[in-house]
Amino acid sequence: MKKYIPFYIILCLFSFTSTGCKQKLTVLEDDIYSRHLQKHFKLSIISTKLPKDKSTINLLILNDGQDIEQLRLKKIVDSLFNKKLINPLVIVAVHAGNREQEYGVAGLPDYQNRGSKADKYDDFINDELYPYIKKKTVIRKFNKVTIAGCSLGGLSAFDIAWNHADKIDKVGVFSGSFWWRDKDGAAVDYSDEVNRIMLTKIKSSRKKPALKYWFYIGDKEEESDRDKDGIIDAVDDTKDLLNIIKSKNICSNDDLILTESANGEHNYSSWSTYFPQFLIWAVGKNN
The answer on pLDDT for 227 being more than 90 is no
Distance CA 121, CA 135 (A): 20
The answer on pLDDT for 83 being more than 90 is yes
Q: Residue 184's pLDDT is what?
A: 95
DSSP classification of residue 126? I
Domain count within the chain: 1
Residue 1 placed within a domain: no
Amino acid at 46: I
Amino acid at 206: R
pLDDT tens sequence across 158-213? 999 999 999 999 999 999 999 999 999 999 999 999 999 999 999 999 988 999 99
By percentage, how much of the chain surpasses pLDDT 70? 92
Residue 79 placed within a domain: yes
Q: Residue 230's pLDDT is what?
A: 87
Mean pLDDT computed over every residue of the chain:
92
Residue 4 placed within a domain: no
Residue 8 placed within a domain: no
In the structure, what pLDDT confidence band is assigned to residue 285 with cuts at 50, 70 and 90? confident
pTM assigned to the model: 0.92
Residue 47 placed within a domain: yes
Which domain, by its residues, includes 84?
Answer: 20-283
Look up the CATH number of the domain holding residue 201: 3.40.50.1820
Distance CA 190, CA 179 (A): 12
pLDDT tens sequence across 217-226? 999 999 988 8
Q: Residue 22's pLDDT is what?
A: 64
Average pLDDT on 250-255 reads 92
Residue 91 placed within a domain: yes
